[in-house]
Structure 1
Amino acid sequence: MFLIVLGIIVLSAGFILSKQDNQSARFATLIRVAGVILIAIGAFVSMFKKIETGEVGVKTLFGKVEDDVLYSGLHIVNPLIDITSFDAKTQNYTMSAVHDEGSKAGDDAIRVLSADGLEVTIDLSVLFKVSPSRAPQILRQIGADYLDKIVRPVARTAIRDNAVSYEAVALYSTKREEFQNKIFNTINQSFAKRGLILEQLLVRNITLPESVKKTIESKINAEQEAQKMIFVLQKEKQEAERKRVEAQGIADYQKILSTGLSDKQLQYETIKAQKDIALSPNTKIIIMGKGSPVLINGN
């Protein structure tokens, strides 16, 4: 396009010089020829338009947006047409409290009020792409700056509108997935009307007020202490049961003894005791008499 404009200027200058004195008129023809050559070269070069991979091109002729879309590749078009390229790949728009992590520098997190009046800070990532067939609609109704005009304000508004239905702690824990699904549906409906396709929504981080965080931590610590106490009590109960069973066994044994033992039972118990001593690793001297054996410890 630049060469065409330059050629037109040169050609006009040639016509102007042709109306001057004879000396200037000598160069007029040469200048007009140069202007025509520049226009021809510019028109030839402008006929070929390359659309990069993952992009689509929207044609504009004298301010009028045409409906047909140019996809990736080389195209021959009217040299007077302007081409606006749109990225048709998946794009990530992140709003984060961490500096240099989001799409905008600095703290760009979304601060909302929950149902219980607490301020909650939310980090959000929006994964989306431009619908190729609707790129002309986007250029015609929104323009090429759809990130700041649509993606950012729609996402932030959806977060704020839905957060007011939940308490802060619920957003942080039990209702987080439900909250994310509601935001997705809200943004998806808005994007669909404007030629954008929402692929995924990621609630990356939810930060509660410091006072609420301390309350939650205290509650968690109390629950952990309660669980620990339950374990101790169960252990003590099991130990008490073991001692009860042991005591019952001793009591039953003593009861049997109190009822009296026969001579044969006593003799049997004596033999068992002597056998245990005889099997001891210590040296023994055994003196056999008419009565029971006598065992003497050698140590």
Structure 2
Amino acid sequence: MKFIAPLLVVLPLATGLTGCTNPNTPAGEEGYVFEKPRIFGAGGYRGTLIGPSNYGVSLWRNEVINIDMRPNTYTENFKILAKDDLNISFNFHAVIAIKSGTVQQVVEQYGAENWYVRFVRETFRTYVRDEVQRYDSVALKENRSEIAQAVSVKLKDYLKTSPFQLNNVIVGNINYPDIVAIAVEKKLAAQQLLSEKETQKEIAQKDAEIRIEEAKGIAQAQKIINETLTPNYLQHEAINAQLKMADSPNHTTVYIPVGTNGIPLIKGAK
């Protein structure tokens, strides 16, 4: 019976030690340290850990909820009717981080790890739908930057009083129905053909301009020739030709002067 008293002391001590906790938080995260309610006492929030760190060994039932504070990408998939009533499939990405020092607010007011689903997701999806439905299906790709910018402005305004910070919004892949894809291909082919026709037209215009200039040159040359072919000039040319022929060693040509300017008729000897 003399060993009963020490045993009664050791048992509570061992029980207390096995109930010790040492909450810890890894790098990039912040921890919300809280005490689980006991039979007596209120429990509740005990402090914040900024990782990497630990809260220390405690006889109390302290635990931690760790929240990742780093920027993370949240992707939403959509299938939405565009302005022209065609279903367009695409995805949207929002890069969001949690402001440092706000982990208590995130846990107590925004659902802890579920903050995105509870507070951001549906609002984000609504903003995307509203912007996409302003455009025809074919115009979506051409205006993807404008759509992303408009969604970003709205979402930043929505989050400005919250612990969350929007870093970027990106439009992902846009997939058209087959009918739209075919129409887009036809449009691109038509544009290419039109471009080729315009090029051919420009070439034809340049060719026509060249021919016109050549015709102008010929006409000008003919005009000059006609103006210079005076009787005296023709007589001079004829005399020169006769002189050259007379100098030929095989010259057997007979000249018969006719006309008022003495330009001869030429008869070759047989």
TM-based fold match above 0.5: yes
Task: Give the distance between the partners of 1:29 and 1:67, measured in 2 at CA.
Answer: 34
Aligned to 1:279: none
Per the TM alignment, residue 191 of structure 1 is displaced from its structure 2 partner at its CA by 3.4
Higher relative CO (CA 8 A, sep ≥ 6), structure 1 or 2? Answer: 2
Q: How many residues align?
A: 236
Aligned to 1:62: 36
Query: Relative to structure 1, is the Cα distance of residues 157 and 184 closer, same or farther in structure 2, using a 3 angstrom cutoff?
Result: same
Q: Report SS of the residue matched to 1:166.
A: coil
Paired amino acid for 1:233: K
* Contact 2:25–2:31, Cα closer than 8 Å, also in 1: yes
Matched, 1:39 2:9: no
Pairing partner for 2:117 from 143, 148, 159: 148
Task: Give the distance between the partners of 1:77 and 1:201, measured in 2 at CA.
Answer: 43
Q: What do the CA deviations read for 1:198-224 (whole angstroms, capped 9, x no partner)?
A: 111111122233222322222222222
Matched, 1:52 2:20: no
Structure 1 ranges of 4+ moved more than 6 A: none
Aligned to 1:116: 84
Query: Relative to structure 1, is the Cα distance of residues 62 and 265 closer, same or farther in structure 2, using a 3 angstrom cutoff?
Result: farther
Per the TM alignment, residue 65 of structure 1 is displaced from its structure 2 partner at its CA by 4.9
Counterparts in 2 of 1:47-196, with a 5 A limit? Answer: 48-62=22-36, 65-66=44-45, 68-72=47-51, 73-76=53-56, 79-95=60-76, 109-141=77-109, 142-173=111-142, 175-196=143-164
Q: Report SS of the residue matched to 2:85.
A: coil
Paired amino acid for 2:199: F
Task: Give the distance between the partners of 1:217 and 1:265, measured in 2 at CA.
Answer: 74
* Contact 2:98–2:165, Cα closer than 8 Å, also in 1: yes
Per the TM alignment, residue 41 of structure 1 is displaced from its structure 2 partner at its CA by 6.2
Task: Give the distance between the partners of 2:245 and 2:30, measured in 1 at CA.
Answer: 117
Paired amino acid for 1:169: V
Per the TM alignment, residue 58 of structure 1 is displaced from its structure 2 partner at its CA by 0.7
* Contact 2:159–2:166, Cα closer than 8 Å, also in 1: yes
Per the TM alignment, residue 54 of structure 1 is displaced from its structure 2 partner at its CA by 0.9
Query: Relative to structure 1, is the Cα distance of residues 223 and 192 closer, same or farther in structure 2, using a 3 angstrom cutoff?
Result: same
Query: Relative to structure 1, is the Cα distance of residues 148 and 292 closer, same or farther in structure 2, using a 3 angstrom cutoff?
Result: farther
Matched, 1:204 2:185: no
Paired amino acid for 2:192: Q
* Contact 1:67–1:136, Cα closer than 8 Å, also in 2: no
Per the TM alignment, residue 128 of structure 1 is displaced from its structure 2 partner at its CA by 0.8
Q: 5+ unaligned residues in a row in structure 2: which ranges?
A: 38-42, 251-270
TM-score after normalising by structure 2: 0.73
Paired amino acid for 1:39: G
Query: Relative to structure 1, is the Cα distance of residues 230 and 266 closer, same or farther in structure 2, using a 3 angstrom cutoff?
Result: farther
Q: What do the CA deviations read for 1:96-132 (whole angstroms, capped 9, x no partner)?
A: xxxxxxxxxxxxx211122222212121111111223
Paired amino acid for 1:179: I
Q: Report SS of the residue matched to 1:211.
A: helix
Query: Relative to structure 1, is the Cα distance of residues 231 and 292 closer, same or farther in structure 2, using a 3 angstrom cutoff?
Result: farther
Paired amino acid for 1:153: E
Aligned to 2:260: none
TM-score after normalising by structure 1: 0.66
Per the TM alignment, residue 194 of structure 1 is displaced from its structure 2 partner at its CA by 4.2
Per the TM alignment, residue 71 of structure 1 is displaced from its structure 2 partner at its CA by 1.1
Per the TM alignment, residue 36 of structure 1 is displaced from its structure 2 partner at its CA by 0.7
Paired amino acid for 2:10: V
